[in-house]
């Protein structure tokens, strides 16, 4: 089959933006394509394999580990594969929607509302970056803050179609190939290109509330968090669905950029005396949520948080403002990295993505504070209360500080793994963390190698991500 005219283009100045992602890591490539169908993806892959040209898969470029940044070869950008392909309402009541990999989460949300507005369903995989694509989410197993209640993102992916390195199509259905499907999700595109994904939608909660508690002392915030984590927050028709932490430095970063962020401009300014905040979401019936909210207010007050200064909003539209504030943490951190790069171009995004299963929040936060106190590198800490899944963002300003920050991340990862934690959470490994985390994710590495040999023996797909190439 002949290649469609102009499907592959040489890299030039107009494609410079495709050499970088949110990690601020910059790469290089010889050519780029923007396929609009599975057939075109397969054509491109066949040609690349014939020429033994490595391929880097790109979606929304929202990743922060350099996974979508090319190291030579060809860029396969999936942003034009952004359609809904099919949907199904089962007799059991379950609803599925099949989409192309390049559809952004914000567009998926609109399509679900358009198609199933009366059914009131949604896809409960919600990373804070709404411009992230479904394919990117599947490739990294990203979940976002509400993973606390809804669990792993992979359980909401029922089927995938994948183009292998040679352009062959394979299909995996959870009902028939659950183990194989699970092994491919979170593999960071090492085996092939997802060309279609069938998503399982779930019923929307009757209502949603958002509450932000502020604390003047970090020790009281940490004790509150331990008490929060030590109890199951649900009753007959309501539950706590999200538990997030933002420290003083994170709040200050957001405050400095607040007027440039339309979604959070209306929110009150945060008092500079506060050492941090806890953001919670409740879902369910209003009456039952009111009971939970009253208990939460009481617990927060017992740990030094003034209920009169708490933010409390109800309804999807209002709660979106608080979600935007939480997303502003990541956005502000990325902008901070970009600013530091102007003086030191070698600097990239550096942050933790470790899961410390065994540590209480207060002990983990104390550990990080003691470690950060021994360095001059500036930082901001935010993330998920559950499982010690905090994102410690480091902001080195010089090349020497950058190297020190990389060493810190490796040391922390070693400590985490020694306590049976996980060195890789929801961000992936990509190119940036491959060296930092080398040897600390053996099970993941072995699985990647096994599937590479099966689907991409010539090591063409996302070369340099996660693994070192086998000679």
Q: Which residue has the tokens 């990541």?
A: 330
pLDDT band, very low/low/confident/very high, at 284 (cuts 50, 70, 90): very high
Residue 1 clears pLDDT 50, i.e. is over it: no
Kindly report the CATH class assigned to 207-325: alpha beta
Q: For residue 157, what pLDDT is reported?
A: 98
**pLDDT tens-digit series, residues 27-75:** 999 999 999 999 999 999 999 999 999 999 999 999 999 999 999 999 9
What's the topology of domain 84-203?
3.30.465
Q: For residue 469, what pLDDT is reported?
A: 72
Q: Which residue has the tokens 């009902």?
A: 175
194: β partners:
162
pLDDT band, very low/low/confident/very high, at 146 (cuts 50, 70, 90): confident
Residue 444 clears pLDDT 90, i.e. is over it: no
pLDDT band, very low/low/confident/very high, at 471 (cuts 50, 70, 90): very low
% of the chain residues with pLDDT over 90:
91
Q: For residue 4, what pLDDT is reported?
A: 55
CA distance 68 to 70: 6
Output b/e per residue, 231-257; b: 16+ Cβ within 10 A.
eebbeeebbbbbbbbbbbbbbebbeee
SS3 content of the chain, % helix, strand, coil (to 5): 40, 25, 35
Q: In CATH terms, are 84-203 and 350-429 the same topology? A: no
Output b/e per residue, 185-221; b: 16+ Cβ within 10 A.
bbbbbbbbbbbbbbbbbeebbebbbbbbbbbeebebb
Q: Domain boundaries in the chain?
A: 84-203, 207-325, 350-429
Beta strands 55-58 and 95-99 are unpaired
pLDDT band, very low/low/confident/very high, at 358 (cuts 50, 70, 90): confident
CA distance 6 to 364: 53
Conformation bin of residue 54: beta by default, left when phi > 0, alpha when psi is -120 to 50 = beta
Q: What rounded mean pLDDT belongs to the chain?
A: 94
Task: Give yes or no for a contact between 88 and 115, defined as CB atoms under 8 angstroms apart.
Answer: no
Residue 470 clears pLDDT 80, i.e. is over it: no
Q: For residue 357, what pLDDT is reported?
A: 86
**pLDDT tens-digit series, residues 292-329:** 999 999 999 999 999 999 999 999 999 999 999 999 99
- In terms of average pLDDT, the best of 21-25, 198-202, 266-270 is 198-202
Task: Give yes or no for a contact between 324 and 261, defined as CB atoms under 8 angstroms apart.
Answer: yes
Residue 5 clears pLDDT 80, i.e. is over it: no
Q: For residue 128, what pLDDT is reported?
A: 86
What's the topology of domain 350-429?
Alpha-Beta Plaits (3.30.70)
| DSSP state string for 264-295 | TTTSPPPPTT--EEEEEEEEE-HHHHHHHHHH
């Amino acid at each position: 089959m002949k290649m469609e005219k102009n499907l592959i283009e040489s890299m030039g100045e107009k494609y410079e933006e495709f050499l970088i992602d949110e990690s601020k890591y910059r790469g290089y490539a010889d050519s780029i394509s923007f396929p609009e169908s599975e057939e075109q993806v397969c054509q491109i892959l066949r040609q690349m394999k014939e020429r033994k040209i490595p391929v880097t898969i790109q979606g929304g470029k929202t990743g922060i580990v350099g996974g979508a940044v090319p190291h030579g070869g060809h860029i396969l950008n999936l942003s034009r594969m952004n359609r809904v392909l099919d949907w199904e309402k089962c007799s059991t009541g379950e609803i599925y929607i099949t989409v192309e990999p390049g559809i952004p989460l914000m567009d998926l949300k609109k399509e679900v509302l358009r198609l199933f507005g009366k059914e009131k369903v949604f896809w409960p995989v919600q990373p804070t970056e709404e411009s992230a694509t479904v394919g990117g989410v599947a490739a990294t197993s990203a979940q976002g803050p509400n993973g606390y209640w809804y669990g792993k993102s992979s359980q909401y992916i029922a089927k995938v179609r994948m183009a292998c390195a040679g352009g062959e199509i394979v299909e995996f259905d959870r009902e028939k190939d659950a183990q194989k499907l699970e092994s491919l999700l979170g593999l960071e595109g090492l085996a092939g290109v997802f060309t279609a994904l069938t998503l399982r939608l779930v019923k929307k909660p009757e209502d949603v509330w958002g509450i932000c508690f502020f604390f003047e002392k970090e020790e009281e915030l940490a004790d509150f968090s331990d008490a929060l984590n030590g109890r199951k927050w649900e009753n007959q028709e309501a539950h706590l669905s999200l538990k997030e932490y933002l420290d003083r430095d994170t709040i200050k970063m957001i405050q400095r950029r607040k007027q440039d962020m339309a979604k959070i401009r209306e929110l009150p300014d945060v008092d500079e005396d506060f050492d941090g905040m806890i953001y919670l979401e409740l879902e369910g019936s209003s009456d039952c949520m009111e009971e939970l909210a009253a208990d939460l207010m009481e617990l927060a007050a017992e740990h030094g948080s003034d209920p009169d200064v708490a933010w409390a909003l109800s309804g999807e539209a209002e709660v979106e403002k608080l979600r935007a504030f939480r997303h502003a943490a990541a956005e502000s951190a990325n902008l901070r990295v970009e600013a530091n790069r102007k003086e030191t171009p070698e600097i990239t995004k550096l942050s933790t993505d470790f899961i410390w299963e065994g540590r209480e929040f207060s002990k983990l936060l104390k550990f990080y504070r003691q470690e950060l106190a021994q360095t001059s590198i500036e930082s901001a800490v935010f993330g998920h209360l559950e499982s010690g899944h905090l994102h410690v963002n480091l902001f080195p300003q010089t090349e020497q500080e950058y190297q020190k920050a990389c060493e810190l991340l490796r040391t922390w990862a070693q400590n985490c793994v020694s306590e049976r934690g996980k060195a890789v959470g929801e961000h992936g490994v990509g190119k940036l963390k491959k060296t930092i985390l080398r040897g600390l994710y053996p099970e993941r590495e072995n699985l990647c190698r096994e599937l590479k040999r099966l689907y991409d023996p010539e090591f063409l797909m996302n070369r340099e991500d996660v693994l070192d190439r086998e000679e």
